[in-house]
Chain A
Amino acid sequence: MAPALFVDTGSPVHRLNPVTKLVALLSILVIVFALPQWWTSAIVVVAILVPAAIVARRARALAGIGGRILLPIVLVLVLVQGFTFPGGRTVVWQWGALSLTAEGLTFALNTGARIVALVLASVLLVVTTHPGDLMSALTEHGLSPKFSYIISSTLQLIPSFRTRADGILLAQQARGLAIPRSPLRRVRVMLPLLGPLVLGMFTDVEERGTAMEARGFGSTVRRTALEAVPDSPGQRLARWLMAALAAAAVVVPLVQELL
């Protein structure tokens, strides 16, 4: 089963080599921390991530998934740091013992902007890149095939794990047993049923290992790949440039400080 977040629209962003997108993500990570003002992150989001999402025809998915992840974090960040930031001096609003400070809000803005940029950049990578392609590309660049196997296998195992768990629940319902609405009670009902499922999956592992070994997984020869991951000299150059840009974002402020 293909992971739900990835939808192939065949856009140019989808067709980029996954390593190029990963290097872009890591470069963005370094840059938004190295240049800590909120507008660095804002520029990254407005000038890079949003256009890329539109080109990829995944802007709505990015907004939906990103919003769901970010909303609670940003809300907590603004409330907690706005009211209790240790460096807060300038009170902008007072309500009883609680005082909202400008320093706290600035801190929340800078930190929040970084989190927004990082989450959106990661989600954009995930919604435009099939994990199988990501793993193949990384394996070509020297990642151990064991990592690649574990990630691909887990991604396909989780849905079947859920299907089996749902099957158990449905069987319970078919037998006339009520499934409680409250999640805590539901867990209490599910635990004795899921126990055998979990144990069964662990004991299946023996066979899975045998089957993999039988197909040469433990072999030490140099592996080949059925399908090549498309790459281009332009992307190779772009990767180096992005890395250089990230390095510059770290080094230049340090040098300026020293001078």
Chain B
Amino acid sequence: MSDPIAVDPHRTRDRLLVVAGAILIAATYSYLILSQPAEIAASGTSRAGLIAMAGYLVGAVLIAAGSVRQIPTAVIAMIPVAIALNIVAGQIVSTLSLTVYLDSIGTVLVSVLAGPAAGVVTGILSNVIWGLTLTPIPLPFAVVQVVIAVLAGLAARAGVFRHVYLPPLAGVLTGFVTAMVSAPIAAFVFGGATGGSAGAIVGAFQAMGRSLLEATTLQGLLYDPLDKAITFTVVGILIAALPARFLQRFPFARTYRVFGKGPLTRTPTTSAG
């Protein structure tokens, strides 16, 4: 789909950006877990909050910057539709006071069709657009969308979407990871108060003697796996409903035989023959 004549001179730089971003995110999480800031001193959590926000945000920005150049125009054109899907679905679901968010259907769909790089851009910009139109609260959680996009892309490469029963399982696994990664933001930036029912659960775990970070992690583990299982399942259904010709347009889907349909190349027959 990309321009076959032009050779991209920035490829190495892009890779380095992505790797640096991933290392930064991993390092941020590890530091926050290992240092376990003393929660009695308010300065401890605020510094942890700054580190969490800065590390995740800069990491996400690096990954997005390293991803965007390799995305062909045909995929770029799909991303606004995917973001609109994230936001409209997320908004409808948020009015239902359920314990699911469903705000990453578009991210997963793009990752599965066009690869994790496009998914990462979809995810991060979804949260930016939440910030521009509704509320800035999801912005610090942009890194979660990065994790979803990368894991969904890996799952697609592994052939998860060739089967009906595997997407929910991949969703559950993704949910475990996003719960861990998002916990420091929920704890140190928002003090556990990310929503009514989530806040109540954090409070319950704290009352049982858990620390703030443990409480937000446990709350995430209660919510995220279910949410991501539903999201991945919905994406599986959407893919089944999309026309095969549309799915075949994506080099990522073709190269990794994401949908496992048909041989890689097929010789067309003439109508005369």
Question: Are any A and B Cβ atoms less than 8 Å apart in their complex?
Answer: yes
Tell me the nearest residue of chain A to B209, going by C-beta.
A86
The residue that B80 contacts in the complex, of A34, A79, A153, with Cβ under 8 A, is A153
- B136 touching A103, Cβ below 8 Å: no
Q: A86-B212, A206-B246 are in contact. Are A154 and B80 (CB under 8 A)?
A: yes
- B246 touching A151, Cβ below 8 Å: no
Q: Does A128 lie at the interface of the complex (its beta carbon under 8 Å from any beta carbon of B)?
A: no
Q: Which residues of B contact A115 (CB under 8 A)?
A: 189-191
Q: Does A114 lie at the interface of the complex (its beta carbon under 8 Å from any beta carbon of B)?
A: yes
- B43 touching A199, Cβ below 8 Å: no
The residue that B77 contacts in the complex, of A118, A209, A220, with Cβ under 8 A, is A209
Complex interface: stretch among A9-17, A56-64, A119-127, A233-241: A119-127
- A151 touching B137, Cβ below 8 Å: no
Most buried by B among A81, A154, A202: A154
Alpha-carbon separation in the docked complex, A119 to B195 (Å) = 15
- A108 touching B131, Cβ below 8 Å: no
Q: Which residues of B contact A195 (CB under 8 A)?
A: 241
- A126 touching B206, Cβ below 8 Å: no
The residue that B203 contacts in the complex, of A79, A111, A155, A158, with Cβ under 8 A, is A79
Tell me the nearest residue of chain B to A122, going by C-beta.
B136
Q: Which residues of B contact A150 (CB under 8 A)?
A: 76, 79-80, 83, 121, 125
- A205 touching B81, Cβ below 8 Å: yes
Q: Does A170 lie at the interface of the complex (its beta carbon under 8 Å from any beta carbon of B)?
A: no
Tell me the nearest residue of chain A to B97, going by C-beta.
A183
Task: Output the least CB separation between A134 and chain B (Å).
Answer: 8
Alpha-carbon separation in the docked complex, A199 to B81 (Å) = 10
Complex interface: stretch among A45-53, A70-78, A173-181, A223-231: A70-78
Most buried by A among B75, B88, B139, B191: B191
Tell me the nearest residue of chain B to A182, going by C-beta.
B96
Alpha-carbon separation in the docked complex, A202 to B79 (Å) = 10
**What 0/1 readout, one digit per residue, does chain B (39-64) give for beta carbons within 8 Å of chain A?**
11011011101100110000000001
Q: Does A55 lie at the interface of the complex (its beta carbon under 8 Å from any beta carbon of B)?
A: no
Q: Does A146 lie at the interface of the complex (its beta carbon under 8 Å from any beta carbon of B)?
A: yes
Q: Which residues of A contact B202 (CB under 8 A)?
A: 80, 84
The residue that B84 contacts in the complex, of A69, A131, A144, A158, with Cβ under 8 A, is A158
Alpha-carbon separation in the docked complex, A76 to B216 (Å) = 14
**What 0/1 readout, one digit per residue, does chain B (176-212) give for beta carbons within 8 Å of chain A?**
0000000000000111111110011011101101111
Task: Output the least CB separation between A141 and chain B (Å).
Answer: 13
Complex interface: stretch among B66-74, B167-175, B256-264: B66-74
Q: Which residues of B contact A108 (CB under 8 A)?
A: 191
Task: Output the least CB separation between A256 and chain B (Å).
Answer: 12
The residue that B47 contacts in the complex, of A29, A33, A157, with Cβ under 8 A, is A33
The residue that A205 contacts in the complex, of B78, B139, B196, with Cβ under 8 A, is B78
Q: Which residues of B contact A202 (CB under 8 A)?
A: 78, 81, 242, 246
Alpha-carbon separation in the docked complex, A220 to B6 (Å) = 9
Q: A118-B136, A144-B68 are in contact. Are A184 and B96 (CB under 8 A)?
A: yes
The residue that A218 contacts in the complex, of B3, B84, B193, B207, with Cβ under 8 A, is B3
The residue that A111 contacts in the complex, of B190, B204, B238, with Cβ under 8 A, is B190
Q: Does A252 lie at the interface of the complex (its beta carbon under 8 Å from any beta carbon of B)?
A: no
Q: Which residues of B contact A94 (CB under 8 A)?
A: none
Q: A37-B42, A149-B76, A195-B241 are in contact. Are A119 and B137 (CB under 8 A)?
A: yes
Q: Does A39 lie at the interface of the complex (its beta carbon under 8 Å from any beta carbon of B)?
A: no
- A218 touching B132, Cβ below 8 Å: no
- A81 touching B191, Cβ below 8 Å: yes
Q: Which residues of A contact B128 (CB under 8 A)?
A: 151
Instruction: Give the B-binding residues of A (Cβ under 8 A).
Output: 3-5, 29-30, 33-34, 36-37, 69, 72-74, 76-77, 79-81, 83-87, 103, 106-108, 110-112, 114-115, 118-119, 122-123, 126, 131, 144, 146-147, 149-151, 153-155, 157-158, 161-162, 165, 183-184, 187, 195, 198-199, 201-206, 208-210, 212-213, 217-218, 220, 250
Top 3 A-B residue pairs of the complex, sorted by shortest distance between their CB atoms: A36-B46, A209-B77, A33-B50
Instruction: Please give 15 more A-B residue pairs, beta carbons under 8 A apart, in addition to A81-B193, A83-B203.
Output: A29-B53, A33-B46, A72-B196, A80-B193, A106-B42, A115-B190, A126-B131, A126-B133, A150-B80, A155-B132, A157-B80, A187-B92, A217-B73, A218-B3, A218-B73
